[in-house]
Amino acid sequence: MEVLVVLDIARLSNKEEFEEFILDEGFAGIDNEPFAYMGESTTPVFNTRAYIFEVFSKAFETAKISDCKIICQIGSNPPEAYLYEKDNFFTELKP
C-alpha cells in the first residue's frame, strides 16, 4: 500500500541532511512539493504508522526540530494529522 507523509516545518537549517536520512529509510520526495514524501508498505497500518513515527522522529532529532505538524495517509485510510513535539513525541490532532 502507498504511504504519503506531508510535513509543516517552520524552520529547517539543513534540509539536505534531513532528507538524506528520510530517503535512506525508504521514502522518496515528491517533485515540486517541499516536505512531501511517499513510500510503500507491506505491513499492517499500525506497524506502518509506528515506522513513520520512528523514522521522522529520528529525522527531527537529527535536524534539531523541536516541533512539527505531520499528516500521513496509509493506503486508502483517511489522512491522520499529528503534532510532533520533542518532549511529547506525537499527539494526534483532531479536526
pLDDT tens for the 95 residues of the chain, in order: 999 999 998 778 888 889 999 999 999 999 999 899 999 999 999 999 999 999 999 999 988 888 999 999 999 999 999 999 988 889 999 87
Confidence at residue 56, expressed as pLDDT on a 0 to 100 scale:
95
pLDDT of residue 15: 84
pLDDT value of residue 50: 96
Q: Give the C-alpha distances (Å, rounded to integers) separating 35 from 43, 47, 66, 87.
A: 24, 22, 16, 22
Predicted local distance difference test score (pLDDT) of residue 21: 93
Set out the domains of the chain in order of their start, with CATH numbers.
2-93 (3.30.70)
Q: Are 27 and 37 a contacting pair, CB within 8 Å?
A: yes
